[in-house]
Structure 1
Amino acid sequence: MVPTVFADGARLESITDDQRKLVANAIDRSMCIGLSERLEVVPASQPADLTVHAVVTRMDATDENAVAASLGAKVAKAVFLPGVPAPVPRLPIGLGTLSMEAEARGSDGRQEAAMMWGRGANMMMGTARVSKAGDAYELASAFGDDFSQMLVKGKSPYGSMSGPPSMDRIKSLSGGAPKYAACDAFGRAPGVAGLISGAVGTPPEWTDKGAAETPVVATAAAQ
């Protein structure tokens, strides 16, 4: 895996470099965990059958004030209408987006798979975080899941139900060690702390420590 980069047109001034790095790393971590379901992920120093690379082509910032207002409405509903089982939607303004292009190339340089992907935050579902990169961070995992699923299954990830996650995947997403050490280059998932952070809407950078201090470029080899 070649670390994810941002296209020049996707570099908004309202998003800091640290936030871009966090989103890019979340993409790489998600892809690495997903690819590990069926492929062996190895350091770049070892031969591999596939090299994976993703590019962020667009990233719209999340409106932090709109998220804060939505979270306030959710708290008010819990206080004043605790027995009403109705979801509280987000305000339909300032929803973040993420658009991606990704490919996998064989050892001979030939393109084996490619995907163009784009999605915006959902006002009814998903996690809202008080951070300009909050929605893109959440969407990063969705993209990583879709692209890695396409590679390991050899077909579109859309329109079909994915099977239950493996124990290795559950362990990695819970903050444990990944199946392959090469994935440690992208740091550990925030696990339970991340789930709590998402539930209360705090910025992802509060719980996600990002990539390892010395990143190792990783690639995928067929098992």
Structure 2
Amino acid sequence: MAPNIRPAEVPMRAAICAVLLALLSSCTNVPLQQGSSLGTYAGMTASGGSLTKAKLRVNPPAVLAAQTVRIAPTSVENAGGSFDAKDLALLTNAVDRALCMGLIDRFKVVVASQPADLVVHATVTDIIATNRAVAATSTVATLGASVAMVPIPRIPIGLGGLSAEAEAVGQDGTQQAAMIWSRGANMLTTRGRISSVGDAYSLSSAFGADFSRMLVKGQDPFKATSSIRLMQKIKASFGSEPKYDACKAFGPAPGIKGAVAGQLGLPPSWSDKGAAISH
């Protein structure tokens, strides 16, 4: 039975939805930042979603025929001068971890000493720094409002963002898939962390998921429907043992501790211990 909605409530609900959509779209503008790490940038087409900008290309037959994949450590290009080396290491490792979590949906992920049908390498090309003072103020306001059961958006100042690119190369060295990607934090879905790389770290999982989904499906991830092994994803996000040893190199996901840290606005280093081994 449909709920009873008084006529007077309809405009109010519509107004609330409009405000929420406006807030969601109020995110940091992060332009696509093309680096120099990809073998080629030719043939890429514009794509993306409501919050994400992207350009990509994929060779479906070659990608879908691949069964094994190796992840080369994510690097940083022209974005690390003003950031702490430990924070950058956590960020790049978070990208690798997100890629591994997404790729195990179809591929066997192998270690560096083993051959693979595809080698994946990502590069962080730009980091928009999070304003730590504003993030701290937002966190205090949000925590205070949560006690009063009043939802409050993040302060729309000092939001950070991430720009990255990645490619998958076949055994013959030919690029089989590539993506340039950027996304900014927004007022509703990105929790402010008191860290200059806080927003970039939070967005790293979205980049890893988008690129890995392109390889798993062999098509534009922003247009494709995806069948996700939900329980496997949930277990991995809560810090359970990864399916393949290669993924263990990136350390366990922060899990519940990470979720609590995000709610409290704590830096990524509070809950994420980074790579388990040097890789």
Instruction: Name the TM-score, length of structure 2 as normaliser.
Output: 0.72
Equivalent residue, structure 1, for 2:79:
10
Distance 1:71 1:161, change over 3 A: farther
- AA partner of residue 76 (structure 1): G
- After the TM superposition, which residues 1-223 of structure 1 pair with which residues of structure 2 at under 5 Å, given as runs? 1-7=71-77, 9-13=78-82, 15-79=83-147, 81-82=148-149, 84=150, 87-215=151-279
Whole-angstrom distance in 2 between the partners of 1:160 and 1:126: 24
Question: Do 1:97 and 1:119's aligned partners in 2 also have CA atoms closer than 8 Å?
Answer: yes
Deviation at 1:44, TM superposition (A): 2.1
In structure 2, distance between residues paired with 1:212 and 1:75: 32
Distance 1:105 1:184 in 2: 22
Whole-angstrom CA distance in 2 between matches of 1:36 and 1:78: 37
Count of residues paired in the alignment = 209
Distance 1:71 1:163 in 2: 34
Classify the secondary structure of the residue corresponding to 1:118: strand
Which stretch has the larger CA shift, 89-98 or 101-110? 89-98
Higher Rg? 2
SS in 2 for 1:175: coil
Distance 1:78 1:37 in 2: 36
| Residues 176 and 188, structure 1, Cα contact 8 Å, conserved in 2 | yes
Q: Secondary structure at the match of 2:127?
A: strand
CA-to-aligned-CA distance 1:136-165 (integer Å, 9 cap, x gap):
110000100000000000111114443343
CA distance in 1, matches of 2:191, 2:158: 14
Which residue does the alignment assign to 1:219? none
Tell me the amino acid that sits aligned with residue 158 of structure 1.
Answer: F
Contact 2:72/2:112, CA 8 A, preserved across alignment: no
Contact 1:37–1:169 (Cα < 8 Å) also in 2: no
CA contact (8 A) 1:37 1:166 kept: no
What is the percentage of aligned positions where both structures have the same residue?
A: 51
Gaps of 5+ in 1: 216-223
Conservation of the 8 A alpha-carbon contact between 1:42 and 1:48: yes
> 1:173, CA displacement in angstroms?
1.3
SS at match of 2:249: helix
Q: What root-mean-square deviation, in Å, do the aligned CA atoms of Structure 1 and Structure 2 show?
A: 1.4
